Chains A and B, each alone.
Chain A
Amino acid sequence: MELLLVASIGFLYAAGVYLILKRSMVRLLLGIVLLGNGTNLLIFLLGTITKGKPPVIEPNLKVLADIYSDPVPQALILTAIVISFGLTSFAIVLLKRVYALIDTDDLDDLNTPEEEDI
């Protein structure tokens, strides 16, 4: 299980970096999303991955006797997913607006020389 996760984290990071290096805005966004997902999986991996061992203390014991699956990373990931959902939806709307204004998907065309600002 760990090996599978490690491989997929590596793949997500690699794909994310590759897409970010492209000039297209949509690929840039997809790259950021993939990197974010890679990070979430990384946090998941760094908490102990066990099956069927909730962090609940047995009624006749004082402390946890066995290895347990850590609930904190899952809470962290949940927070991170919600945040990245908000950021991604904002980014999609922004890119759509920019596309409507400058009519291109190329990041190099974003440098309109400009004289006046508000």
Chain B
Amino acid sequence: MTANIIIATVLVHLFTALLQLTFWRKTITQRVLSVAGSLTGFAFALGLFERVRTGPILTMNAANWEAPFGIVFVADQLSVTFVLLTAIVALAVSIFSATGVGRARMLYGYFPIFHFLIMGLNGAFLTGDIFNLYVWFEVIIISSFVLLTLGGRKAQLEGAVKYMALNILASTFFLTGIGILYGITGSLNMADLSQKIQWVENQAIINLTAMFFLIGFGIKAALFPLYFWLPSSYHTPPSAVAAVFGGLLTKVGIYGFFRVFTLIFVPDDFIKAVLMGIAVMTILTGAFGAIIKDNIRRIFSYLIVCHLGFVIGGLALFTKIAFIGAVFYLIHDIMVKTNLFLMAGLIRHLRGTMNMSKLGGLYAQYPKLSLLMAVVLFSLAGIPPLSGFWPKVYLFDGGYQGNDYLYIGGIIIGSFITLYLVARIWSEVFWKRAATDDFVVDRFKSLQWHRKTLLVLPICLLACSSLFIGLNAEYIIQIADKIAGEMADPSPYIEAVLGK
């Protein structure tokens, strides 16, 4: 079914960014515009989500060029779920940025670039054309380069060099893969590729091409052994930026995996084994990397890596039940990881540091805020009624059915270490008596009440989303089930795009 509303979320963020560019020195106007733009984007995303959830897959042919000749935008359940999650994260982060980002950064175009980044994310999730996906990836990385380096501190620039080099390399791999794919099949439309790739006689070259995509997406999704850029760059930018990066940027790589490895390359046993090996190693290296860190943002960075392993393992099992677990985990992960980085920003406002050895006594001084953060931390660890618990049930089930005990062991170790870290953060940051009160820089207390609200409200919003996901798990499982169905059988997608 053709519907032009698909593109609305992309356009909203594009025009928000353009409008903000005309208010270059007026940071108050930019802040208001940013929140308004994100709210509008959220409304459109919610509308699109409901329409696709209850109706058929929507498509839009750019400039009326019929698929597979033109660029097509497709809104299936997987895409719209990602678009909705992006909208929620964008809303939370633009509210947080109003106070959490310094005025100096805003004067150098923080908000326009942020909205270009969100535009790129929406575009990447909605496009049905593999080269167009590459272009959206580039929109995302060039915006993220600017956000990462804005401010120009030494640590930021050092992190940015690693981030930049590996991300450009990933794009080159991705582009090489696309080039070879076009050479073999003569098509760039993903639905069309899905059909044409079955007619290729030389399946060895298909596997080779799949490896190019695996490396390209693997670098972007920060999987073992290509994840080193992530922990060495994500702790450097302002917390608002780190929240978008941690919540969404690595997930674009995962989205690429979900899309390409279910629609175009249906993995054979070899690729499944490679993916599973990568998944288990990602879980272990991420978890063990996090244990020794003292800075809470570095811990969260390693935990991102660790938990992405869970998701890729779900993809590697390649059964419907594992897909449900992987998709559900991803929905939970985007909310929680964004919130963790926002929380780190709030803690820095409260105490002026993010190192656990210097922190302490938050629970005594701010009991309500601490309880709010406890909800987030417990969701992360997966304490039963909260959101991290349910997807693991499905992942375990998938692992048992596939007799993949290595993966199950990996999940157990990863979850256990996460729980240990949550306990450690809770005792070091909240319970432990603060070492010396003389050095505490509490920038939060002196803020006006509306600024305090702007810092706490987004954390509340995301914590409520986490609670909703955990307590209303049945609804999320319905969504995840529909997505898993689409991933296991792409024929409705192909039919919607090609119209036959």
A contacts, CB < 8 Å to B? 20, 25, 28-29, 32, 35-36, 39, 42-43, 45-47, 70, 72-73, 76, 79-80, 83, 86-87, 90-91, 94-95, 97-98, 101-102, 107, 110-112, 114-118
Among residues of B, the one whose C-beta sits closest to the C-beta of A70 is B186
Cβ-defined contact, B138 with A87, below 8 A: yes
Q: Do residues A46 and B169 form an inter-chain contact, with CB atoms below 8 A?
A: no
Number of A-B contacts (CB under 8 A): 106
- Contact B180 A42, beta carbon cutoff 8 Å: yes
- Binary per-residue interface labels of chain B (249-268) against chain A in the complex, 1 for a CB within 8 Å, 0 otherwise: 00000000000000000000
Q: Is B430 located at the chain interface by the 8 A CB criterion?
A: no
Note all chain B residues with C-beta closer than 8 A to A35. Answer: 169, 172
Which one, B176, B236, B238, contacts A39 given CB within 8 A? B176
**Chain B 353-394 against A: per-residue CB contact (8 Å), 1 yes, 0 no?**
111000000000000000000000000000000000000000
Cβ–Cβ contact B154 & A102, under 8 A:
yes
Chain A residue contacts of B235, Cβ below 8 A: 117
- Residues of chain B within 8 A of A91, CB atoms compared: 164-165, 168
Beta-carbon contact of A25 and B161 below 8 Å: yes
7 nearest A-B pairs in the assembled complex, by CB-CB distance: A46-B183, A43-B179, A110-B158, A114-B155, A83-B138, A98-B157, A35-B172
Instruction: Add 11 more A-B contacts to A94-B145, A98-B161 (CB < 8 A).
Output: A28-B165, A32-B172, A36-B175, A42-B179, A46-B180, A70-B186, A73-B179, A79-B131, A87-B141, A90-B164, A102-B154
Q: Tell me how far the C-beta of B63 lies from the nearest C-beta in chain A, rounded to whole angstroms.
A: 14
Pair B172/A36 contact, Cβ less than 8 Å: yes
Residue contact A76 to B172, C-beta cutoff 8 Å: no
Chain B residue at smallest Cβ distance from A87: B168
Mostly, the B contact residues are helix
A33 to chain B, nearest CB (A): 9
* CB-based contact B138/A76 at 8 Å: no
Given contacts A46-B183, A86-B142, A118-B238, contact A32 B168 (CB under 8 A): yes
Is B153 within 8 A of A118, CB to CB? yes
Inter-chain contact A117/B295, CB cutoff 8 Å: yes
Choice from A36, A73, A111 contacting B158 with Cβ under 8 Å: A111
Which residue of A has the minimal Cβ distance to B295? A117
Contact with A along B170-205 (1 / 0, CB 8 A): 011001101110110010100000000000000000
Is B162 part of the binding interface, using a Cβ–Cβ cutoff of 8 Å? yes
Question: What 0/1 pattern do residues 222 to 239 of B give for CB contact below 8 A with A?
Answer: 000000000010011111
User: When chains A and B are docked, how far (Å) is the Cα of A80 from the Cα of B174?
Assistant: 12
A35-B169, A46-B179 given; A116·B353 CB < 8 A: yes
Interface residues on B, range: 35 or more
Is B149 interfacial (CB 8 A cutoff)?
Answer: yes
B160 within 8 Å of A by Cβ? Answer: yes
In the complex, which residues of chain B have a beta carbon less than 8 angstroms from the beta carbon of A116? 353-355
Give B299 Cβ to nearest chain A Cβ, in Å.
Answer: 13
Chain B residues within an 8 Å CB radius of A115:
355
Check A76 against B154 for contact (C-beta < 8 Å): no
A83 touching B161 by the CB < 8 A rule? no
Please name the residue on chain B nearest to A28 by beta carbon.
B165
The distance in angstroms between the C-alpha atoms of A102 and B239, with both chains bound, is 24
**Interface positions of B (Cβ within 8 A of A):** 102, 131, 135, 138, 141-142, 145-146, 149, 151-155, 157-158, 160-162, 164-165, 168-169, 171-172, 175-176, 178-180, 182-183, 186, 188, 232, 235-239, 295, 297, 348, 353-355
Assembled-state Cα–Cα distance A79/B71 (Å): 14
Q: Which residues of B contact A111 (CB under 8 A)?
A: 158, 232
Identify which of B152, B179, B239 contacts A97 (C-beta below 8 A): B152
Q: Across the interface, which residues of B come within 8 angstroms of A110, CB to CB?
A: 158, 161-162
CA distance A45 to B180 in the complex (A): 10
- The reply to whether B236 and A117 form a contact with Cβ atoms under 8 Å apart is yes
Residues of chain B within 8 A (CB-CB) of A39 are 172, 175-176, 179
Q: How far is the CA of A20 from the CA of B219 in the complex (A)?
A: 16
Is B354 in contact with A117, judged by CB distance below 8 angstroms? yes
Q: Which residues of A contact B236 (CB under 8 A)?
A: 117
B175 contacts across to A, CB distance below 8 A:
36, 39, 43, 80
- Tell me the minimal C-beta distance from B208 to chain A in angstroms: 13
Cross-chain contact A101 with B145 (CB below 8 angstroms): no
- Cα(A97)–Cα(B155), bound, Å: 12
Q: Which residues of A contact B239 (CB under 8 A)?
A: 118
Q: Name the distance in Å between B206's Cβ and chain A's nearest Cβ.
A: 15
A–B pairs, 26, beta carbons within 8 Å:
A20-B165, A32-B165, A32-B168, A32-B172, A36-B175, A39-B179, A42-B179, A43-B175, A73-B179, A73-B182, A79-B135, A87-B171, A90-B146, A94-B145, A94-B149, A94-B160, A94-B164, A98-B157, A98-B158, A110-B158, A111-B158, A117-B155, A117-B295, A117-B297, A118-B102, A118-B239
User: Which chain A residues lie closer than 8 Å to B297 at the CB level?
Assistant: 117
A47, B154: Cα distance in complex, Å = 45
Write the nearest CB–CB distance from A57 to chain B, whole angstroms.
15
| With contact pairs A32-B172, A35-B169, A95-B161 given, residues A72 and B182 touching in the complex (Cβ less than 8 Å) | yes
CA gap between A94 and B149 in the complex, in Å:
8
Q: How far is the CB of A77 from chain B (nearest CB, A)?
A: 9
Contacts of A46 in B (CB 8 A): 179-180, 182-183
Question: Does A101 contact B161, Cβ atoms closer than 8 Å?
Answer: no
